[in-house]
Amino acid sequence: MITVDFENRGSVGLCEYLYNSIKNQILKGTLKADEKLPSKRSLAEHLGISVITVQNAYEQLIEEGYLYSIEKKGFFVTDIHPEEIQNINNPSAYKSKSISEEKLNPPAEKIEYFADFASNSTGYEKFPFNLWAHEMREVLNSGNERLLQRSAANGILELREAIAKHLCEFRNMTVSPEQILIGAGTETLYTMVVQLLGQDKIYAVEDPGYHKVASVISLNGAKCVPVKIDENGLRPDELEKAKAHIAHISPAHHFPTGTVMPVRRRRELLSWAEKSLDRYIIEDEYDSEFRFNGKPLQTLFSSDQNGKVIYINTFSKTLAPSFRLSFMILPSTLIPLFRQKLGFYSCPVSVFEQFTLAVFMQKGHYGKHLIRMKNYYRTLRNSLINAISQSALSSIAEIQEEEAGLHFLLKTQPSESMDVIRKKLAEQKINLPLLADFYYQNVPEESLFTFIINYSGIKKERIKEAVARLEKALLP
């Protein structure tokens, strides 16, 4: 049982003193890695303090990575390596090591922004490091010989089953694990689509749109054409003019405009695809999990009755971009062709990572994490919007398309030339992309002073200062 002498705490609160005492015992090695701690009630009775005091101390230790919890089993000490303990106890030593490493291996020049509204990064402090580390250890300790074997082209069955179950529960999609393919980021999936459907096809992308999609398709030897969108999304008549065979769209939350495609346009696009055997739609739902008002719209894939939609999604927004984990769902009619043309591939994602994510999802951790992140991003978005609305920016700026996804638009009135504004933004260490940057051709005048606010990587405590810097840059 943990013993803490509260008589020496002075003016320090009970919770803070308990937290520091347990942390110091972990750092000194008195409490060993993976050692189980007393339950909140047991420790409270032993120390003569309230259960809520113990609970708050445990939660703080979990948040900082000293403890991890397992549902219905209890609280355990995180395995902290000796060098990590040394760096925690002696920050100057860690700093010296970093400086010497930088001298030996100088990093590439990188601008340090105070607020980067172009980044698609996620808040690292919200990632469930302890749970993920625990499941990694569980997978390693399982002794499963498949961890040392190559994975089939479509990925391990356990992960595909977990994804199918998740889509059924969260998106009301009926999908067979046989239809799911695991990819190392969406770039590999776009590559596979071109290889599957053919380089001789014409691929249409949204204008404006995410330029990386067009780049990947073009680099794989296929013709890629930008096609205009209107307020409802990609236009079928423009697809006909372009003589396109494949259309890439993001109907749940278009990037960069943020619009949500209405049902009527979805039906029109399905009708366009059904007119020819070699026509398909790639439905990209890159951040569809984050819809803050109302129920999620039915996917185009679920509405498709003729096997014309290929569905793509990623774990980059819900977990982290560094994971390089994404998946694609093929219509049943394309599975034989996939096996014939690409079945010899090995899945590019580590089998170890696949098993870890599968277990993470099977135990319900992913679903709970998704709900937590949705609440976190809703709060973050509301805080940022409120700060902008209450600032002097409200006199020249209008917020648009903020109800879904992890970005919204900030439409401003031109006060100075864009060259001057860009210079002022740079001086304020603010990275703020323009809507106009994502057009391929015929850039509308209103997009020249409309900015994209990607808020997923912004720290809440920096919002006030970030808005103040935006004022200095955008106001005359």
Collapse the DSSP code of 326 into the 3-class scheme (helix H, G, I; strand E, B; otherwise coil) and give the result. strand
**pLDDT value for 105:** 40
The CA-atom distances, in angstroms, between 239 and each of 224, 431, 442 are: 12, 34, 17
Cβ neighbours, 10 Å, residue 61: 24
Output the pLDDT for position 331. Answer: 96
Q: What is the pLDDT of residue 289?
A: 65
The pLDDT of residue 308: 96
Per-residue pLDDT at 205: 95
Burial class of residue 123, CB neighbours in 10 A (0-12, 13-18, 19+):
middle
Q: For residue 12, what are the contacts with CB-CB under 8 A and spacing of at least 6?
A: 20
Q: What is the mean pLDDT of each run of 10 residues along the chain (476 residues)?
A: 76 82 86 88 86 86 79 81 42 34 41 82 74 89 84 92 92 93 92 95 94 92 93 93 96 86 92 95 80 71 94 86 89 96 91 93 90 86 92 90 81 85 91 90 84 87 93 89
Distance of CA 373 to the CA centre of its chain: 10
Burial of 394 from C-beta contacts in 10 A (0-12 / 13-18 / 19+)? exposed
pLDDT confidence of residue 292: 60
pLDDT at residue 165, rounded to an integer = 94
Strands 115-116 and 309-314: unpaired
